[in-house]
Structure 1
Amino acid sequence: MSTLRRTERIRPGMCGHNSLLAGQIGDWTWDAVSKTCGTDVLRAEDASGNPTYLSFYYYRVRGSRRFHLRSPAFGDELHITTRLFGFGSESVLTLHRIGRSAAQAARPLDPEDFYAFGDPDCLYVENFNRWVVRGPGAGNGGLVRSSPPDFDHRHLPELPEKYSPRHACGRARRTLTFLEHGDRRPAAELAVEYEVDPSRDLNGAGLLYFAAYFSIIDRALLCLWRSLGRDDRSFLDRVVVDQQLCYLGNADAGQPLTVAVRLWERPGGGEAVDVVLRDRDTGRVLAVCSLQLEGEQDR
């Protein structure tokens, strides 16, 4: 079994102008892996008895003006279809198709349909996760791969190679963007300083929480937004129809980061934004993110 379905009613802790829904979807990914692969993801251990974590390496959210990451509101009922794909003993891919009706959830979820992103009333979420443990040092910068012995992946279907998230992430690592910009120059650029906040950015394992990356990126985007003379209302009203995020490293509480933001005009209308998170002191890249925003003329 690699396909699961669930129905969720949106509560206050699951939505808003923040990263709450991104975090909730990540929890659904962990639930799906636990149910499908014979591993209690919340209490997983490697062969040496060390806690091992199903870390996020790639997170993509694709939607539309009618349904995007910030569309769900209090009381909305969501119908989620989830399917897992195997990537060996150390990684797993989870696809979520999220809609508002049971009829949407009843449709099969196959890769061709998913990657066509054809239903504007569905949200398409792709999570690629890797098992990691802390290395010999005490900090969060030395995570190494290590999977639990009871992680059962051999029954999972294989994803067609053309859809593999490794292609997108490889490009992001090399070029620091998921997008094709050609020889165009960005319309605006800004570098923002950020210090990992121990009061809000860490998860229960003491790691920089995967959904906190979304918040850090949004904070940097807001700084750029204001630098362009735009008001906060227009920031809250922004429609992000596609967001791709590759996690390349973690960070400790209090660690200073530099967040570089570049704004591009999209040839077909709207705007695109590239965000790169780095360790300020070493320059090590921690994450690369690209967002595509719908233009006012498309609304």
Structure 2
Amino acid sequence: MNIALSPEGLAPTEAFVAEETLLLGMPQLCLAGLSEVWLLKELGHRHWMGLAQLAGRAVPDFRAADGAPVYAAFRALSVEQADFGALGENDRLTIRTTLCRLTHTQCASRHELTCQGRPVGTVNLVSTFVRRAPGGGNHTVARVALEAFPTCIPPIMSPGRASESLAARAATFRSTGAVPEARFAAAGIVEDALITFDPCPAQDFNGAGFLYFSSFIALVDRAEWHFDGRPAPRATTRRREVYFHGNIDPGERVAVRRLKDEHGANERIHHYRLERASDGLHLADAFTQRVF
């Protein structure tokens, strides 16, 4: 194990650290530069594999006491100071990943992105271990603590530092509705702006049968494109913070509701909520700053 700063600026602690440089091509790019959806898929995979290595395993095959599969479901993500539009074909993207344990059920990873030494963004991911009830679908998912993790797992984050973390901001939003920044609260309220999507099992669900977390972001971007009457096609994310609350089964529809939206000369700020169309259950809240 390496010694490094843990996610969210904690004191130095033993944690999983990895770094790799990738050559960017068409699979990693979109019209506006680096593909955010590709990036999140890549970082989600690195988070999952990092959990395995942190636990001293060759592959991330986690099981509950009764043998049921246990997965790391993402509960929150943040994209900070992103400059995805500056990246293009044949650029080399370096990803430095740091991962540690937050609580008995949650882990966090921080992914620092650079291109030839220049920062182009940071992504934080918080996951929790979950399992389905026997014979149940995605409506029966519940948290599970994996006490069988070896002692190499870093100490649990102290409450004083937890207040600074993405996980704590997500928990605060769920309990009080407090948004990550005042400017999101100040954005204009939009009435009756809703569009419904039918996620495709072959495209939007992962191998574990969940609507993948990157697909939530893809739906938000599709809704933005719909609501804003074909906005600038080269708009890119500068900042995004998403809190995940639930999931759906294949065949269920997702409603994306635009709650707040503010337009500036060179940017747009909005808050979208994803809901299960059948009963209005909140699936996720996404706060986004986009620049042109």
1:87 is the counterpart of 2:102: yes
State the partner residue of 1:61: 79
Cα contact 2:187–2:260 (8 A) shared by 1? no
Distance 1:267 1:85, change over 3 A: farther
Q: Deviations over 1:13-65 (max 9, x none)?
A: 3332551121111111122222223245532212211111111111111124x
Q: How does 1:164-175 map to 2 (within 5 A)?
A: 164-173=165-174, 174-175=176-177
Tell me the CA shift for residue 129 of structure 1: 0.6
Q: How does 1:79-118 map to 2 (within 5 A)?
A: 79-101=94-116, 104=117
Q: Deviations over 1:99-141 (max 9, x none)?
A: 113xx4xxxxxxxxxxxxxxx7331010001111112352211
Tell me how far apart the structure 2 counterparts of residues 150 and 12 of structure 1 sit (CA, whole Å): 41
Tell me how far apart the structure 1 counterparts of residues 57 and 265 of structure 2 sit (CA, whole Å): 45
Tell me the CA shift for residue 245 of structure 1: 1.0
1:26 is the counterpart of 2:44: yes
**Which residue identity lines up with residue 283 of structure 1 in the other structure?**
G
| Alignment equivalent of 1:276, drawn from 249, 273, 276 | 273
**Which residue identity lines up with residue 91 of structure 2 in the other structure?**
D
Distance 1:276 1:238, change over 3 A: same
**Which residue identity lines up with residue 284 of structure 2 in the other structure?**
A
Cα contact 2:72–2:128 (8 A) shared by 1? yes
State the partner residue of 1:116: none
1:259 is the counterpart of 2:262: no
Cα contact 2:100–2:153 (8 A) shared by 1? no
**Which residue identity lines up with residue 246 of structure 2 in the other structure?**
G
Cα contact 1:39–1:151 (8 A) shared by 2? no
State the partner residue of 2:92: 77
SS of residue paired to 1:203: coil
1:127 is the counterpart of 2:125: yes
RMSD: 2.7
State the partner residue of 2:214: 211
Tell me the CA shift for residue 168 of structure 1: 1.6
Tell me the CA shift for residue 164 of structure 1: 1.7
Tell me the CA shift for residue 191 of structure 1: 0.5
Q: How does 1:126-275 map to 2 (within 5 A)?
A: 126-152=124-150, 155-156=153-154, 158=157, 160-173=161-174, 174-175=176-177, 177-180=179-182, 181-182=184-185, 185-186=188-189, 190-226=193-229, 230-231=230-231, 234=232, 236-265=233-262, 270-275=267-272
Structure 2 segments unaligned to the other structure (5+ residues): 2-14
SS of residue paired to 1:218: helix
Q: Greater CA deviation, 197-206 or 71-80?
A: 71-80
% identical aligned pairs: 20
Q: TM-score, normalised by structure 1?
A: 0.79
Distance 1:192 1:98, change over 3 A: same
Q: TM-score, normalised by structure 2?
A: 0.81
SS of residue paired to 1:264: strand
SS of residue paired to 2:48: helix
Distance 1:273 1:28, change over 3 A: same
Tell me how far apart the structure 2 counterparts of residues 196 and 165 of structure 1 sit (CA, whole Å): 27
How many residues align structurally? Answer: 269
Distance 1:77 1:247, change over 3 A: same
SS of residue paired to 1:28: helix
State the partner residue of 1:110: none
Cα contact 1:41–1:53 (8 A) shared by 2? no
Tell me how far apart the structure 1 counterparts of residues 162 and 93 of structure 2 sit (CA, whole Å): 30
State the partner residue of 1:48: 66
